[in-house]
Amino acid sequence: MNADDSADDSPVGCIGVLVVGTRGGGGPGEVLVKIRGGSETFLAFSDEPLPKGATVLVVDSRGARAVDVTPWTDPMGAL
């Protein structure tokens, strides 16, 4: 494993879709992220509640299987 491999393993900066909505301070949801050549789910925490099906950006990692997310709108989608 080289130094670049560990960066590729991080979900931070990846786009995902909530398969279970988040509840803000009330608890996590679950996000499906394309990573490492496949798709994986992570517990997803957000500041505000987000609905199932929302597209999100992973902004931080809380450990091996938990991440912080924020709503995401593709800036290139309007083009």
pLDDT at residue number 78: 63
The torsion angles phi and psi of 31, rounded to 5 degrees, stand at: -120, 140
Q: Quick count: other Cβ atoms within 10 Å of Cβ 70?
A: 13
For residue 63, the 8-state DSSP code is S
Q: Does CATH place domain 3-71 in 3.40.50.1220?
A: no
Strand runs labelled E in 1-79: 15-20, 22-23, 29-35, 38-45, 49-50, 55-61, 66-71
Extents of the domains making up the chain: 3-71
The predicted structure's pLDDT at residue 53: 98
Express each pLDDT in 15-38 by its tens digit.
Answer: 999 999 999 999 999 999 999 899
